[in-house]
Structure 1
Amino acid sequence: MGSGGTTGLSRFADRRDAGRRLAEAVRTLAIEDAVVLGLPRGGVPVADEVARAIGAPLDVLVVRKLGLPSQPEVAMGAIGEEGAEVANEDVVGMGRVSAAEFAAVERRERAELDARVRRFRGDRAPLPIAGRTALIVDDGVATGATARVACRVARARGAARVVLAVPVGSPRSIESIPEADEVVCVQAPPGFMSVGMHYLDFRQTPDDEVAAILAAAHGRDPGGAPDSA
């Protein structure tokens, strides 16, 4: 596993700009037979630019952060489709989170995850990735919990190669994602504090925008439809 790109500190204009710059780094890998999987919500517009640039189909891979009961913005783990789960044991320990509290947060987030799968993908089946390269894209990596669980989901679906690609990330987290065969990161600044600090426009991506991007991608990607066999 390796990381690509630079450690420059220039900020991205927005997620579309980040996606175009990320696509330049992804092109150097010469990835073949890839399916681009955007992590909602913010990772989807980034992934859309990457998918367009490399001519690959785009799908969504739904994951949810498990926030500390006392500090929901701090990830104590993450869950994904296919029942995947990752726990940040250090955070769980520091937050003194009991097994019952962890389970309660997971139940709540699992329900939201299932709802988002229906909202974003609708009646469409997930694009097949068995034997292909799963190119997982997000708008950045902080703790790495959601990225790790997304990689596990892709692996469970039979991906032959799992590549994580992000515009920016924490150096420590980028180097601690064993579930990925390779990590591409445009910027991994030593003083990393948060993903949003590296964007001029980091407004939340609305659900309807995510759904519209995926619907448009589905219409332009004839090679990404599920096999009819």
Structure 2
Amino acid sequence: MVTAILTLLAPALTITLLILTLILAKGDICPGQRGRIHKLFPAIGLLWLAIASLKVEAFLVVFAIFYFYSKVKTGKTRDKGPFWVIHLANGFGLAFSGIVVSSQATLGQSIALLTSGLLLGSAFAHLLLVIARSRLQAFHRILPMSGVILAMAFALIFLVNAYQWPEEVAQGYLIELLMSFVMLLLGIVCWIWHLIRHTAPEKRQLSFAFFCLLSACVGLFRLYAFM
């Protein structure tokens, strides 16, 4: 299970870092928000450090992230810091994720890993933005709605591939399959709950949503071994 989680986190963290980079580069954010976003980079770096237990190449992303963090202020600041380093981290992350995605056993599994990476990366980026008290309201709408589309695509891709299962295999893993889809649905509903209620998103809400989505993706991704 740990290997499955770390495999899913590689493309997910790449997407998260790309979203944060976009916000730091193009977002209309105040000095306080920029500093709070800078504070998020160690968490991303530590998760990449865990991924390095799978492949040592991930250390390149870790070094780039922590070097960037060491050169920027975490208080109120308008200084973007050495942005070429964060672009380098994005490049390393994209290359690493591309290798992980392309090295999967089947094309369906590669597509599922890519889709789940987009889904989890968007959810994690949204959680981090709420932790940083971001005022970019557009992202509080765009990220959840894109998550709905990605979740539908991920489920559809899995069902198309699962159609090839022998009947006895499908019956044997029916409970795991249903539990994963329930978690996927629960995660999406919780993620968009603030849109339904017309309220501001909360950390507890998005943390629970991310946990549900991660559980669902890990559960379904592990079932690809039986296809």
Q: TM-score, normalised by structure 1?
A: 0.32
Higher strand proportion, which one?
1
Bigger Cα Rg: 2
Q: Which has the higher contact order (CA 8 A, sep 6+)?
A: 1
